[in-house]
Chains A and B, each alone.
Chain A
Amino acid sequence: MNQVKVLLCVLGNDIHVVANRMLDLICRERGCVTVNLGALTPADEVIEAVADNRPDLLLVSTLNGQGYPEASRLMASIKENIQAAYRPAIWLGGNLFVGDYNDSEKQRYLDLGFDKVYSRPRNFNKFSSDLDDIINILTFTAETV
């Protein structure tokens, strides 16, 4: 069976790594191969790592509320530099804006092209089940092709 490859990062001027480490752990426990770029990762570095590693799934964390400009750079650069065939599924999660949480703000990130956006998730349950789904889809596809 082909292993699902996951690339993880904490985007921009952001040092919050606890969730990133836990996501890495969850992915590995599910049998995925992970490449973790860790904290303080600029968009350019993510793009480079996507090109080098060709992950199936890219997990982007942003916790300090200042992530929008760098997230928007990242997605523009993905469109420009990564061929559609190699574009991973891209999921983003964390504290997306400074100040009070507002549901409509999540949409601003979805509009950038992220496939899933987790805004201040209370736990990893939703992520874990989404991960199971994508693993099933990817491994099923790999086996039938």
Chain B
Amino acid sequence: MNARSERFELQRREQLEMLCRIPERSEDALYLQSKSIENIVNDLDEHGCRSALDFSVALKQRQEKSDPLLQFRCGVGRIEEQHHMLRMLHENADLLTVTIDSYTRQNDYLGCSAALLVERSTEQRVLNGYPLIHHGVAANREMVADLSKPVQVRHGTPDPRLLAEVAFASGYTAFEGGPVTYCIPYSKSVSLKEAFEAWAYVEWLAVDYSQHDCPINRESFAPLSGVLIPPIIVILIQLLEGYWILLSGVTSLTLGITQLGTVDQDVAVQRVLKRGVEEFLRPLFPFAEISYAFHHWMGPFPAAREGAYRIMERGTRAAKMGDASKLIVKTSVERHGVPSLDDTINSLKTTKACLDTLGSCDSSLSPLFTFDEEDALWKELKHLLHLYGIKFSRNCSVSELENKLEYLFDEGLLDIPMAPSSVCRGKVLAARDTHGNVRVLEPGRIPFSAHYLKREKAGLNVPDDLTPYKKLWCSYESLMQWENG
């Protein structure tokens, strides 16, 4: 056994000891401790949890330029309710989701046990998501095997080692997140170093569970802090985290773009991400399956359904024209809290109907603006990658890339607005221009080219000498603009 796998085995023991300390789950801990991953995979096969239900296979089978596969978000506390919802939804969706609760996300397993107990005894919703670990391997397997479509775990956990352990052993074949995109938007004091360590373990597990031609699908999280993000930052972070995940040995990767600006801009952003993948990642990882997610708008939604549908319709169009592999839908009631089952079904049906009317359109129908925008983004992407000294090469080691990313965030050369984490400086800000495109309002310390900044600022109808206070308000008002109709 080499030093690397020894390190992982040690971590695995620690994680399973933690599982042992959740009183109702000690049985799972004993099961996982007693079996090798190969044996667990065999058990999964026997339970009918693999093959037809494999997430990566569903993504691979999608034909280029056909409609994006539809996926939703859905997470509730009790497994009976979760199972019922997924069963009701799977007719209208191509890919299923369990979204994990916030106690689990913060590794507060005992807090989660207590909340689940209250939820079970009062039959009132207490948890804001699905406590996957607490429902145990056997019950999760039963649910996964009962559903005829693959299920992804979506969460927001900076340290998801135990969650991944139980999720993969339960037959879930896709797992969202990464060391950057699930650390900076989802933690306050977790360092990138800690996040890399935790996620290296997740990738190791994912690779080990990728047997019998069924790789575990890993997806980066494009929406970041859920506010207005300069699109170039989304592209950069997707490429860099994607690179890190692929270097770790993963062979089914999904990168994403989130609806931010106009349809035309969002199409350009998707084209640039794909171009980056083809130019930088594909040559290094020719056997990896790389697919693309598009997220409906993740910011504040208007109260009126019509307004919400208008936003979703634009997002659906952008996903279709950008040839996204899958579209993660929102609902018309986002403003009012957690959507009901009917709301989600309605949203899937409306989105499907919208895709049907769009027919076979693609980005070749986009206006000249899209290609101008693509050109500007592409040039700036290459400019920044060059300044950052990022080399896409077989000789690049994982630790080299990690050190580089730590340095870039430390110095504010790479930055994300409005994140809770102290890892990034949060100086960069975006706002909407008069057409609705998202532009860099405040570059912070990101070394954008003067030419690009000038182009970004040209459309923004704001004076150059805004105070920091006014800039933050301006960015906030841009973020809230769609909420007001």
Size class of the B contact interface (CB-based, 8 Å): 20 to 34
What per-residue 1/0 map shows which CB atoms of A34-59 lie under 8 Å from chain B? 00001110000000000000000000
CA distance A23 to B114 in the complex (A): 32
The interface on chain A, measured as residues whose beta carbon lies within 8 A of the other chain's beta carbons, has a size of 26
Q: Across the interface, which residues of A come within 8 angstroms of B336, CB to CB? A: 100-101
**Within 8 Å of chain B (Cβ to Cβ): is A112?**
no
Q: Say how far A16's CB is from chain B's closest CB, in angstroms.
A: 8
| B33-41, B46-54, B99-107 - interface stretch | B99-107
Q: Across the interface, which residues of A come within 8 angstroms of B114, CB to CB? A: 69
CA distance A10 to B105 in the complex (A): 16
CA distance A69 to B117 in the complex (A): 13
Q: Is the CB of B102 within 8 A of A18?
A: no
| B64-72, B183-191, B324-332, B431-439 - interface stretch | B183-191
13 CB contacts below 8 A, A to B, read: A13-B105, A13-B106, A13-B108, A17-B420, A25-B473, A40-B189, A66-B102, A69-B115, A98-B125, A98-B128, A98-B337, A99-B125, A123-B480
Q: Which residues of B contact A (CB under 8 A)?
A: 101-103, 105-106, 108, 111, 114-115, 125-128, 156, 185-189, 225-227, 336-338, 418-420, 469, 472-473, 476, 479-480
Q: Across the interface, which residues of A come within 8 angstroms of B125, CB to CB? A: 97-99
Q: Is the CB of A38 within 8 A of B188?
A: yes
> Considering only CB atoms, which chain A residue lies closest to B426 in the complex?
A21
Q: A15-B420, A22-B476, A40-B420 are in contact. Are A100 and B337 (CB under 8 A)?
A: yes
CA distance A40 to B473 in the complex (A): 24
Known: A13-B111, A15-B187, A39-B420. 15 other contacts (CB 8 A): A10-B420, A17-B420, A18-B418, A21-B418, A22-B472, A25-B469, A39-B188, A40-B188, A64-B128, A65-B337, A65-B338, A69-B111, A98-B337, A98-B338, A123-B480
CA distance A65 to B77 in the complex (A): 13
Q: Across the interface, which residues of B come within 8 angstroms of A40, CB to CB? A: 106, 187-189, 420
The 8 closest A-B pairs by CB, nearest first: A39-B420, A13-B102, A13-B106, A17-B420, A40-B188, A98-B125, A15-B420, A65-B128
Q: Which residues of A contact B (CB under 8 A)?
A: 10, 13-18, 21-22, 25, 28-29, 38-40, 64-66, 69, 95, 97-101, 123
Q: Is the CB of A99 within 8 A of B227?
A: no
Q: A15-B185, A66-B103 are in contact. Are A38 and B420 (CB under 8 A)?
A: yes
Q: Across the interface, which residues of A come within 8 angstroms of B337, CB to CB? A: 65, 95, 98-101
Q: Is the CB of A15 within 8 A of B188?
A: yes
B interface, over-half SS: loop
Q: Is the CB of B338 within 8 A of A99?
A: yes
Q: Across the interface, which residues of B come within 8 angstroms of A65, CB to CB? A: 128, 337-338
Q: Across the interface, which residues of A come within 8 angstroms of B115, CB to CB? A: 66, 69
Q: A25-B469, A98-B337, A100-B337 are in contact. Are A17 and B418 (CB under 8 A)?
A: yes
Q: Across the interface, which residues of A come within 8 angstroms of B227, CB to CB? A: 18
> Considering only CB atoms, which chain A residue lies closest to B472 in the complex?
A25
Q: Is the CB of B126 within 8 A of A66?
A: yes
Q: Across the interface, which residues of A come within 8 angstroms of B156, CB to CB? A: 15
Q: Across the interface, which residues of B come within 8 angstroms of A123, CB to CB? A: 480
Q: Say how far B475's CB is from chain A's closest CB, in angstroms.
A: 10
Q: Say how far A69's CB is from chain B's closest CB, in angstroms.
A: 7
Q: Across the interface, which residues of A come within 8 angstroms of B187, CB to CB? A: 15, 40
Q: Say how far A9's CB is from chain B's closest CB, in angstroms.
A: 11
Q: Say how far B337's CB is from chain A's closest CB, in angstroms.
A: 6
Q: Across the interface, which residues of A come within 8 angstroms of B225, CB to CB? A: 18
Q: Say how far A36's CB is from chain B's closest CB, in angstroms.
A: 11
Q: Say how far A49's CB is from chain B's closest CB, in angstroms.
A: 14
Most buried by A among B115, B128, B185: B128
Q: Is the CB of A29 within 8 A of B469?
A: yes
CA distance A13 to B419 in the complex (A): 15
Within 8 Å by CB of B102, from A14, A21, A99, lies: A14
Q: Is the CB of B420 within 8 A of A66?
A: no
Q: Say how far A56's CB is from chain B's closest CB, in angstroms.
A: 21
